[in-house]
Amino acid sequence: MQKINAAITAVHGYVPDYILTNHELETMVNTNDEWITSRTGIKERRILKGEGLATSDLAVPAVLGLLEKRGIGAEEIELIIFCTSTPDMHIPATANILAHKIGAVNAWGYDLQAACSGFLFGLTTGAQFIESGKHKKVLVVGGDKMSSITNYEDRSTCILFGDGCGAVLLEPNYEGNGLIDSILKSDGSGAHSLYLKAGGSLRPASHETVDAKEHYAYQEGQTVFKAAVRSMADVAGEIVERNHLKPEDIAWLVPHQANKRIIDATASRAGVSPEKVMINIERYGNTTNGTIPLCLWDWESKLKKGDNLIIAAFGGGFTWGSIYLKWAY
Ligand code: UT7
């Protein structure tokens, strides 16, 4: 039987219009553009403003744009994997809400939560349904309304995050393009270095949790930074080595956009020169599940069939991993 690879056949993204600049942040907390730029590489991020708007509202334009590009209707989608850490609600899954909003009446779906590595986990998971022959059209969405869990009085976190969403379509490929290899890891000993203290079954919402601001993302920056540099760089290096890829074989490194210094360390370990690294952190900040599909969207016009891409991410959990894929169009 012919081997089926799961290939990305379309990509699209969406970021909201409102731009929160470093200069505006200077008026909100005790920070400055020079500190933010030199420590993170971020200049601005997008924020979803307006009442009643949630993560699914970031996904709708991303997915509708994708369907139009691919020339298919929403009813052809068989499965939606929605990778997010900021679901519209705990119940039901945002995948269901999205399916309803776009008219994906024949799809089943679920949410996947692996913090900043979510899109990588989702891509690998979605690929299984294609490779097994179970499905022919799987939508993998990565998006977060990080502004909904960001404390804009905490200068150590509010400078980092932004809102945004990207989506890819996975379809069978018989030419050897698509997902080739993946290495995914998690380590719960890092759980308390980057987390939301309340709102789950451990510490349900109460007046006390709200007063203590426990519904915002809490991060021990240095601890996460050190673990991210080590793990993301190592796993990217590992996937390059085990697939016997030489630096000249790699067309693009697609790193999670959490900090420019983490990206640089990962590129160096994977042997990828700076001009081959997708970086848009200066415009969007860390959109958590959105960073990787938003990079693919921004760079889509430069990608060529057969290009070798190395994707790498690190996030809360801890979770991290890397994917090697061959671009299919
Ligand atoms: O995507 C999921 C994974 N997340 C990450 O990968 C994020 C990893 N962590 C980081 O990117 C970095 O740790 C941060 C960007 C969050 C912080 O950078 P850092 O170089 O680790 O700074 P730091 O936390 O060690 O703080 C250095 C100093 C401190 O002042 P003192 O104690 O030296 O006087 C902070 O209080 O910088 C201060 N500081 C700030 N100053 C101006 C912290 N935040 C700010 C700020 N503006 N926004």
How does pLDDT run across 218-254, given as a tens digit for each residue? Answer: 999 999 999 999 999 999 999 999 999 999 999 999 9
Mean pLDDT of 11-25: 98
* 78 shares a domain with 17: yes
Give the model confidence (pLDDT) of 275-312 as tens digits. Answer: 999 999 999 999 999 999 999 999 999 999 999 999 99
Question: SS3 of 244, please?
Answer: coil
Residues of the chain with pLDDT > 90, as a percent, come to 98
Range 104-113 average pLDDT = 98
Are 123 and 186 contained in the same domain?
A: no
Token pair in block for residue 105: 């009446």
- Three-class SS of residue 297? helix
Are residues 215 and 118 both part of a single domain?
no
Which residue CA neighbors atom 13 of ligand 1 most closely? Answer: 221
Q: What backbone torsions phi and psi does residue 41 show, to the nearest 5 degrees? A: 90, 0
CA distance 115 to 313: 10
Residue 202 has pLDDT above 80, yes or no: yes
**Residue 200 and residue 233 share a domain:** yes
Residue 189 and residue 292 share a domain: yes
Q: Are residues 129 and 18 in the same domain?
A: yes
In this structure, which amino acid lies at residue 226? K
> Residue 64 carries which side chain, given as an amino acid letter?
L
Q: Does ligand 1 have an atom closer than 6 angstroms to the CB of 292?
A: no
| Ligand 1 probe mutation, 26, 32, 222, most atoms within 8 A of CB | 222
Q: Could you tell me if 91 and 205 lie in one domain?
A: no
Residues 51 and 186 in one domain: no
Mean pLDDT over the full length of the chain: 97
Over residues 151-191, the pLDDT tens digits come to 999 999 999 999 999 999 999 999 999 999 999 999 999 99
In which element (H, E) is residue 320 found?
Answer: strand 319-326
Binding site membership of 224 for ligand 1 (Cβ less than 6 Å): yes
Q: Does the C-beta of 258 come closer than 6 Å to ligand 1?
A: yes
pLDDT at residue number 270: 86
Eight-class DSSP state of 243: T
Give the residue from 157, 176, 195 where a domain finishes.
176
- Among the atoms of ligand 1, which is closest to the Cα of residue 221? 13
| Position 1 pLDDT exceeds 70 | no
Q: Is the CB of 37 under 6 A from ligand 1?
A: no
Q: What is the CATH number of the domain that holds 153?
A: 3.40.47.10
Kindly report the number of other CB atoms within 10 A of residue 158's CB atom.
22
Q: Is 325 buried (19+), middle (13-18) or exposed (0-12) by CB count in 10 A?
A: buried
Number of H helices, E strands in the chain: 11, 13
For residue 204, what are the contacts with CB-CB under 8 A and spacing of at least 6? Answer: 198
* Residue to substitute in 31, 155, 196, 225 for testing ligand 1 pocket (most ligand atoms within 8 angstroms of CB): 225
Residue 126, sorted as left (phi over 0), alpha (psi -120 to 50) or beta, turns out to be alpha
User: Of 152, 176, 200, which residue sits at a domain end?
Assistant: 176
CA-closest candidate to residue 258, choices 138, 187, 157: 157
Runs of H (alpha helix) within 132-277: 155-158, 207-211, 221-242, 260-270
Full residue range of the structural domain in which residue 246 is found:
180-326
Cβ atoms within 10 Å, residue 308: 17
Structure tokens at 135: 């499905």
Considering the domain architecture, whether residues 163 and 186 belong to the same structural domain is answered as: no
Provide the whole-model pTM.
0.97
Please tell me the total count of domains within the chain.
2
Same domain, 20 and 62: yes
143: Cβ below 6 Å to ligand 1?
no
Q: Are the CB atoms for 224 and 194 separated by under 8 Å?
A: yes
- CA distances to 27, 159, 274, 286 from 24, in Å: 5, 10, 30, 17
Query: Measured between alpha carbons, how far is 90 from 21 in angstroms, rounded to an integer?
Result: 31
Residue pair 188/248 in contact by the 8 Å Cβ criterion? no
CB atoms within 10 A of CB 104: 25
